[in-house]
């Protein structure tokens, strides 16, 4: 059973939606956010990246950053940029990026079900990032960035969602990255009831993207429950903001790696050692077209690395992932990257940036070698979550990203 509920969303006036909607907090650094916000006082970056309105010398985890985010959210409410819907409702959110379209339900999901693993995870969280989202929710008393959930597609849900997509939308605009965003309101009681009933028949939901936000929502619920002697379980803080998409509409791109140095090896010595576990050949800069195949950019040359049979456990859903094969057979033993969550010698580059970004990083001289991977599949993600296992860090990069600021969930 999956509990998804309608809610009174806080959202932009129709004519302001395109100006307000902003990328999620974790796909831009502070400098990129400052540049993007120039000339647009209404962008939601003032709420989800509030450090852009402060001295750049202030640490992004400083209390003043969260206070500024809360101040900016209050301002948007006070001046009428954001209005709260008078009644509880669902929202349907469609994104179109090139030839790819995905349509999901904006709702609130149960923290209890998350805690009970009826909303399944596939990643560990980093304490500093989780603390950041806890503080952001506490100071704003709101959840402003939706968690991206998925479920095994059901035709009856697809059909009901598609009915609404034939109606006149509330918002319909194209963001600067050329993604089209369309949002419909589900207001009639019969449809609201039907949606709740259909999702009640869904066994489990899966966190696709947003592990830190969902974990933070649980911690904020726990804090508010302790502080509320009249806690009933019905308060809004018992739920968290989500957009739920069927699994067959998910688009996962590659999540690539760059490493600062060769761990004391010469390029020739590194290649010799790589050949023990991989077939190696020079190639053109074309993304890997199949599993267990990688590209490596070193000294201006692209190499294709194909994992040799027997160098990984094909029966293990985690060890057989491409990210695991690269980590276990190359990054750890040859380049000394033992904990990619903490090691500052490695960085991760979303596939949306393309292979040119990897070339740019290495050619700059700040990074020595880059690796391009084949994308993890949504089926692999669900299989690992079902098995109660955890993926290596930075295994998936979902596109398009959910825009922040289109619907906000206020907490009691």
Give pLDDT tens digits for 312-346.
999 999 999 999 999 999 999 999 999 998 899 99
Is residue 273 scored above 90 in pLDDT? yes
Tens of pLDDT, residues 167-197? 999 999 999 999 999 999 999 999 999 999 9
pLDDT for residue 44: 98
Q: Which residues make beta-bridge pairs with 183?
A: 93, 171
Higher pLDDT, 286 or 78: 78
For residue 1, is pLDDT > 80? Answer: no
pLDDT tens-digit readout, 121-138: 998 888 899 999 999 999
Task: Please report the pLDDT score of residue 379 as a whole number.
Answer: 94
pLDDT of 186 reads 97
pLDDT tens digits, 241-258: 999 999 999 999 999 999
Q: How confident is the model at residue 285 (pLDDT cuts 50, 70, 90)?
A: confident
Per-residue pLDDT band for 283 (boundaries 50, 70, 90) equals: very high
**Residue 359 pLDDT grade (very low, low, confident, very high; cuts 50, 70, 90):** very high
Mean pLDDT of the chain: 96
pLDDT at 80: 98
Mean pLDDT of 388-410: 93
Q: Residue 132: what pLDDT?
A: 97
pLDDT for the residue 27: 87
For the chain, domains (ranges, CATH) are: 4-251+399-410 (no CATH), 255-374 (3.30.1760)
Least-confidence region, from 50-59, 224-233, 389-398 = 389-398
The pLDDT of residue 203 is above 90: yes
Q: How many percent of the chain have pLDDT more than 70?
A: 100
Terminal Cα-to-Cα distance of the chain (whole angstroms): 25
Q: So what's the pLDDT on residue 127?
A: 87
């Amino acid at each position: 059973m999956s509990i998804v509920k309608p809610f009174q969303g806080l959202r932009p006036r129709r004519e302001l939606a395109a100006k307000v909607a902003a990328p999620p907090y974790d796909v831009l650094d502070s400098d990129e956010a400052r540049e993007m916000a120039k000339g647009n006082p209404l962008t939601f970056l003032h709420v989800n990246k509030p450090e852009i309105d402060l001295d750049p010398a202030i640490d992004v985890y400083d209390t003043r950053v969260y206070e500024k985010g809360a101040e900016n959210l209050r301002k948007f409410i006070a001046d009428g940029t954001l209005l709260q819907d008078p009644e509880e409702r669902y929202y349907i959110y469609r994104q179109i990026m090139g030839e790819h379209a995905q349509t999901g339900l904006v709702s609130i999901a149960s923290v209890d079900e998350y805690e009970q693993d009826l909303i399944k995870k596939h990643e560990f969280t980093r304490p500093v990032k989780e603390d950041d989202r806890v503080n952001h929710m506490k100071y704003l008393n709101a959840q402003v960035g939706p968690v991206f959930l998925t479920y095994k597609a059901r035709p009856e849900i697809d059909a009901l969602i598609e009915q609404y997509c034939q109606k006149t939308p509330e918002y319909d605009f194209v963001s600067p990255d050329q993604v089209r965003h369309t949002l419909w309101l589900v207001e009639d009681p019969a449809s609201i009831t039907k949606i709740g009933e259909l999702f009640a028949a869904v066994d489990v939901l899966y966190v696709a993207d947003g592990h830190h936000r969902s974990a933070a929502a649980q911690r904020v619920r726990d804090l508010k429950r302790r502080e509320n002697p009249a806690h009933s379980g019905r308060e809004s803080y018992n739920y968290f903001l989500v957009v739920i998409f069927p699994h067959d509409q998910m688009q996962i791109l590659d999540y690539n790696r760059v490493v600062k140095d060769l761990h004391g090896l010469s390029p020739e010595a590194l290649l010799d050692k790589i050949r023990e576990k991989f077939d190696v050949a020079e190639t053109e800069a074309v993304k890997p077209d199949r599993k267990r195949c990688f590209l490596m950019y070193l000294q201006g040359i692209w190499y294709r690395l194909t994992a040799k049979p027997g160098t990984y456990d094909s029966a293990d859903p985690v060890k057989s992932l491409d990210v695991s094969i690269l980590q276990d057979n190359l990054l750890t033993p040859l380049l000394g990257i033992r904990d990619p969550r903490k090691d500052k010698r490695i960085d991760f580059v979303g596939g949306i940036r393309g292979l040119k970004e990897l070339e740019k990083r290495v050619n700059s001289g700040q990074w020595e070698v880059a690796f391009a991977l084949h994308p993890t599949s949504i089926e692999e993600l669900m299989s690992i979550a079902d098995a109660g296992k955890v993926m290596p860090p930075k295994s998936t990069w979902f596109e398009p990203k959910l825009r922040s600021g289109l619907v906000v969930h206020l907490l009691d």
